Amino acid sequence: MVESASLQELSGKIRGGEIRSEEVMASAYDRIEAHDSDLNVFRSRLDRETALKKAREIDQRAASGEKLGPLAGIPVSIKDNICIQDPELNGSCASAILEDYASPYDAHVVERLKAADAIIIGKTNMDEFAMGSSTENSAYGPTLNPWDRDRVPGGSSGGAAVSVASGMVLLALGSDTGGSVRQPASLCGVTGVKPSYGSVSRYGLVAYGSSLDQIGCLAKSSEDCSYALEVIQGHDPRDSTSSDQTLVGDGKDLELQGKRFCLPETYLDPEVVDAEVIEAISEAESMLLKEGAVIEKRPLEFLRFVIPTYYILAFAEASSNLGRFDGIRYGVRSQKEANLKSLYSDSRSKGFGREVQRRIMLGTFVLSSGYYDQFYGRATRVRAGMEQQIGKLFEEFDFILGPVSPFPACGSL
Amino acid sequence: MEFETVIGLEIHAQLATESRIFCSCSTEFGCPPNQNTCPVCLGLPGSLPVLNQKVIEYAVKLGLATNCSIRSDSQFARKNYFYPDLPKAYQISQYERPICEHGHLEISTGEGQKQIGITRIHLEEDAGKLLHQENSDSSSVDLNRAGIPLVEIVSEPELSSSEEAKSYMEKMHAILTALGICSGDMEKGHMRCDANVSIRPKGQKEFGTRTEIKNLNSFRFVKQAIDYEIERHREEILDGRELVQETRLWDSERKLTFSMRSKEEAEEYRYFPDPDLPVVELDTAWVDGLRESLPELPDARKLRYREKLGLSEYDAEVLSLSGEASEFFEEVLEAGGDPKQACNWILGDMTRMMNEKDLSLRKLGIKPGMIAELISLIQEGTISGKMAKNLLPDLQNSDQSVKELVEAKGLVQVSDEQELLKMIDGLIQEHAAQVEEYRGGKTKVLGFFVGQLMKQTQGKANPGVANKLIKSRLDG
Ligand SMILES: [Zn+2]
């Protein structure tokens, strides 16, 4: 019942009193208690009784005829880098440096979820500060893929993807900077969406690469993702990069007849993309063709530059964004306080994992005088060029078709 | 060897907005440490800056008032460095695209007017404050000040003496306060400057080695510190030592500068555009609207005082440079005071009183209307100028009118000729010897009689009338 229903159906039934949130929650916690200890999905979560109590409150409100929000009584997880003010959900970013960090405020998306009467039950494991694509770079151990524990779940929102894939929640919020929602969703067999930059407020999302970070949804279907996006999207005056345009439609009534799809040739190159993935693309291609869509292959040269450009920009921004974790005001502070400089370096060396340190150092390098123009400046120009080319492409096409990841879930990276 | 001095100033001024540059916390002072804060100014994880539009308006006004071109695509950048008072480990500032550029203003120098170029004016946020605990090896951080909006105004290296630097700073202070965008309170650090100083042999093209004196927070310190630094440079050069390019601080107690850090330790700030803040796009019509609505600026004010009110060049300059004085002055005029007299009172006795009591003009507690009344009482001959001067302290914080005070003190001048003549005749009888002296040609003795009369009337005799009457009696 719970497994097959869509978010919309299920919350509708909870609002109508046909299904009790308490039942849904109990079944979620059965899954959590059975599997969380070995899959390592949650960084922090409510205990069963607290969660059930919140569910019963929803049921009582429904029973008293109160009008409830669109996610009434639905168990939801948020990624560990989304701020929530709840002493049971302390710690942040799966980093030792924020071991006991208690946020004094809720992220915009948390406010939205609460207003929609969702029940946030926990924060999911991730690559530390969202830096990685396997959820192995967590200071609290890796999250495992529920379909095959010898494979990674992807990342950095690996915990989020697994929380949905293993039936622990019906909706998970993750964050995506360079694939961190879409890739783990793909590797765990659930649906993940990175909405357009600016459509969901970043207020309360701990920044990694600010010009690329975006909160997205992971759920069992695109329909569920779209339903949840309705709740979290929209302008927020606290985020200056927040767009005042709303995302259009849920695609349910989309007519594919005559729609034009661009398929970049690189995505079919067996040198670059795994055979299994190419097969999946071809399958999608024939489905679309059957619906009357037009597919054109194009040699998009600029795709070669996407990854190096992403790395330079994201690392540069990260090196600045992560400066505030210095052991002075919150987080882990080194006890060896010889002087200010060593307080900083000891705290940061101890608090940050290797991958985070590597990215901070590279980001610091590409911004340093003498190298700025060669790296950061150049990456900015390349990005502007790509933006232009993609803009042009969308004059011709309605969609660009491509795989989320060049390979399926694999063993340890 | 003859040297010439090259000075450039970086002035930092706090903008008098109600809320901070990137959050809605108030800019009010005096809260207990860290009470007046929010996730944004605390730099907490996940918080984001939102630009206060008032800050842009103020900076544009300043740019327009200093003949700058206003960028329609200015941008904020992050200046990255670690310090405990900097909660994000970067300061949001402007780097490649400051809001205002290429301006200038005029200052008065010994050789007349001189134009000083303004390289740029950019916006930035203030940092917090470190509180060093006494008898403890720990320090605390107060972030109530973090995010207070600042403008940094960078001049071209076109100032050639400490006097010029001081005039430039006074002029900027006058503009900032005339625009109402800065309190100008230098004791509270609302305006301060860094001075870049170098000297070179007269005629040489290349600049000499420069040092930067940081955090000068009074006009006097600007002058003293620069004078000290020029002299230090001279001695170093003449003694054949090499000057070090470095940052120095002014010790106002010992009256000397001392080294803070040398250039080798200069920091790498890794500036880059802040991805959290979009480019500030300015609408030309909006900028034009601000240009139209600018208040009267010190230069225009000075011209009006000279040409319309007939003040001297010097008086007009001094009055127009002080927002407080010129405002007070105009209020005296509105209350019917004579401009020349009003100016004399403000720049003379009232300024002396301010210096003695270490109070600002308004804090003296003398209302502009009282000065106007004082002036007209003198003009009517009710009281003498000297009486008025003596009365000034009584006007402080008084709710009586000047006339009431004059009457209460029995200060009304005796101008009645009959009354005075009676007393003069008595004096002439009493002092026959002096009368003889006078009549024998020693006309200086006239002063003696005036003195005696004043003594007898306790200074209330109208001096003009007294002089005339005594003379006529003695001559008669
Ligand atoms: Zn604030």
Is residue A262 located within the same domain as residue A217?
no
Same domain, B19 and B136: yes
Longest CA pairwise span in chain A (Å): 70
Q: Mark yes or no for CB contact B46/A107 under 8 Å.
A: yes
Tell me the nearest-neighbour CA distance from B38 into chain A, angstroms. 10
- CA-to-CA distance for B32 and B391, rounded, in angstroms? 43
Closest CA to A310 of A359, A358, A368, A372: A359
Q: Is residue B31 part of a domain?
A: yes
Query: Which pLDDT value is given to residue B401?
Result: 85
User: Is residue A245, in this structure, part of any structural domain at all?
Assistant: no
Q: Is residue B291 part of a domain?
A: no
How many residues does the structure list for chain A? 413
| Contact yes or no for B328/B346 (Cβ under 8 A) | yes
The number of domains in chain A is 2
Q: Are residues A308 and A387 in the same domain?
A: yes
Q: Which run of H or E residues covers position A304? A: none
Residue A300: what residue type? L
Has A211 been annotated as catalytic? no
Domain boundary among B255, B285, B315: B285
Residues B281 and B422 in one domain: no
Confidence band for B447, pLDDT divided at 50, 70 and 90: confident
For residue B431, what pLDDT is reported?
A: 86
Provide Rg for chain A, Cα atoms.
22
Chain centroid to CA A32: 20
The answer to whether residues A105 and A189 belong to one domain is yes
Is A328 an 8 Å CB contact of chain B? Answer: yes
Residues B261 and B300 in one domain: no
- Give yes or no: residues A74 and A181 share one domain: yes
Domain that holds residue A319: 254-413
Same domain, yes or no, for A273 and A349? yes
Instruction: Show Cβ contacts of residue B292 under 8 Å, excluding neighbours closer than 6 positions.
Output: none
Distances (CA, A) of B249 to A253, B197, B211, B241: 70, 13, 10, 21
Are B197 and B315 in a shared domain? Answer: no
Residue B35 contacts A, CB cutoff 8 Å = no
Amino acid, single-letter form, for residue B77: A
Residue B193 shares a structural domain with residue B245: yes
Q: Which helix (H) or strand (E) holds A123?
A: strand A119-124
Does residue A298 sit in the same domain as residue A369? yes
- What's the pLDDT score for residue B463? 80
Strand segments, DSSP code E, in A273-354 are 294-298
Q: Are residues A126 and A271 in the same domain?
A: no
User: Does the active-site annotation cover A79?
Assistant: yes
Same domain, B72 and B183: yes
Q: What is the rounded distance in angstroms from the CA atom of residue B196 to the CA atom of residue A167?
A: 66
Choose one of B373, B408, B443: the last residue of a domain: B408
How many domains does one find in chain B? 3
Residue B440 at interface with chain A, using a CB cutoff of 8 Å: no
Three-state SS sequence of chain B: CCEEEEEEEEEEEECCCCECCCCCCECCCCCCCCCCCCCCCCCCCCCCCCCCHHHHHHHHHHHHHCCCEECCEECCEEEECCCCCCCCCEEEECCCCCCEEEEEEEEEECCEEEEEEEEEEEEEECCCEEEECCCCCCEEEECCCCCCEEEEEEECCCECCHHHHHHHHHHHHHHHHHCCCCCCCCCCCCEEEEEEEEEEECCCCCCCCCEEEEEECCHHHHHHHHHHHHHHHHHHHHCCCCCCCEEEEEECCCCEEEEEEEHHHCCCCCCEECCCCCCEECCHHHHHHHHHCCCCCHHHHHHHHHHCCCCCHHHHHHHHHCHHHHHHHHHHHHCCCCHHHHHHHHHHHHHHHHHHHCCCCHHHCCCHHHHHHHHHHHHHCCCCHHHHHHHHHHHCCCCCCHHHHHHHCCCCCECCHHHHHHHHHHHHHHCHHHHHHHHCCCCCHHHHHHHHHHHHCCCCECHHHHHHHHHHHHHC
CA–CA separation, B32 vs B457, rounded Å?
Answer: 59
Task: Report pLDDT for A253.
Answer: 78
Q: Are residues B377 and B315 in the same domain?
A: yes
User: Looking at the structure, do residues B115 and B190 belong to the same domain, yes or no?
Assistant: yes
Question: Per-residue pLDDT tens for B133-183?
Answer: 777 778 899 999 999 999 999 999 999 999 999 999 999 999 999 999 999
**What's the rounded Cα separation, in Å, for the pair A10 and A27?**
14
State whether B223 and B362 are in the same domain: no
pLDDT for residue A302:
93
Contacts of A316 in chain B (CB under 8 A): 272
Question: What is the band of B418 on the pLDDT scale with cuts at 50, 70, 90?
Answer: confident
Q: Are residues B228 and B321 in the same domain?
A: no
User: What's the pLDDT at A241?
Assistant: 97
**Residues of A whose CB is below 8 A from B82:** 323, 326, 344
CA distance A376 to B271: 11
Taking an 8 Å cut-off on Cβ atoms, the answer to whether A240 and B277 are in contact is yes
Last residue of a domain, one of A197, A232, A267: A232
- Which residues fall within 8 angstroms of residue A357, CB to CB, at 6 or more apart? A348, A349
Residue recorded with tokens 């390289």: B119
pTM of the model: 0.89
For B250, the domain range is 3-285
Same domain as A228, residue A266: no
pLDDT at residue B416, rounded to an integer: 75
* pLDDT tens for each residue of B264-315: 556 789 999 999 999 999 999 999 999 999 999 999 999 999 999 999 999 9
CATH of the domain at A213: 3.90.1300.10
Structural domain contains residue B403: yes
Distance between A315 CA and the closest CA of chain B, angstroms: 13
Within-domain flag for A248: no
Asked which of A232, A263, A297 is the last residue of a domain, the reply is A232
Q: Are residues A270 and A412 in the same domain?
A: yes
Query: Where does a domain end: A232, A263, A292?
Result: A232
Residue B51 lies inside a defined structural domain of this protein: yes
Q: Pick the catalytic residue: A77, A95, A180, A186?
A: A180
Residue A28 lies in a domain: yes
Q: What is the CATH number of the domain that holds B424?
A: 1.10.10.410
pLDDT, block means (10 residues), chain A with 413 residues: 80 96 97 97 98 98 96 98 97 95 97 98 98 97 97 97 97 97 97 96 98 98 94 97 83 87 94 94 95 96 94 98 94 80 92 97 95 96 97 96 92 75
For the four alpha carbons of A201, A103, B39 and A335, in that order, the dihedral sign comes to: negative
Same domain, yes or no: A27 and A164: yes
CB–CB contact A324 B141 (8 Å): no
Which residues of A, range 130-189, sit inside 8 Å of B by Cβ?
none
Statement to judge: residues A267 and A316 lie in one domain: yes
Shared domain for B205 and B176, answered yes or no, is: yes
Distance from CA of B155 to the nearest CA of A (A): 24
Shared-domain flag, residues B397 and B458: no
ipTM for the predicted complex: 0.96
Pair (A207, A281) in one structural domain:
no
Identify which of A203, A317, A330 has the shortest CB distance to residue B46.
Answer: A203
CA separation for the pair A233, B252 (Å, rounded): 57
Euclidean distance between CA atoms A188 and A166, whole angstroms: 9
State whether residue B110 sits within 8 Å of chain A by CB: no
